[in-house]
Amino acid sequence: MKEVELDCLGEACPVPLVKAEKKLKELEIGDVLIVQIDHSCAMKNVPEWARKEGHNVEIEEVDDGEWEVIIEKVK
């Protein structure tokens, strides 16, 4: 089980979502992907996509306008 950080700071939609989808595909089940985001629109579509795919998702507000979406790959 490893933890991978994905830096999407400064990236606008739909780049964070596309990057997260790509990265998660490379990971094994049980791995955790931490997507760093500072674009509020990506804060809506990245967690939405990950939850719909059935992964465990947690959101942490790191700073003003900066979040980490923590995705645990479950399948």
Please pick, among 4, 13, 32, 34, the residue that the annotation labels catalytic.
Answer: 13
Compute CA 14 distance to the chain's CA centroid, rounded to the nearest angstrom. Answer: 12
What residues between 4 and 23 interact with another protein by CB under 8 A?
Answer: 9-11, 14-15, 18-19
Question: Using N-to-C axis directions, what is the helix angle for 40-52 and 15-26, rounded to 10°?
Answer: 40
3-state secondary structure of 54: coil
The answer to whether 8 is a known catalytic residue is no
Stretch that binds another protein, among 28-36, 40-48, 49-57 (CB under 8 A): 40-48
Q: Which is nearer to another protein, 11 or 72 (CB)?
A: 11
| Residue 19 near residue 6 (C-beta atoms within 8 A) | yes
Catalytic positions are: 13
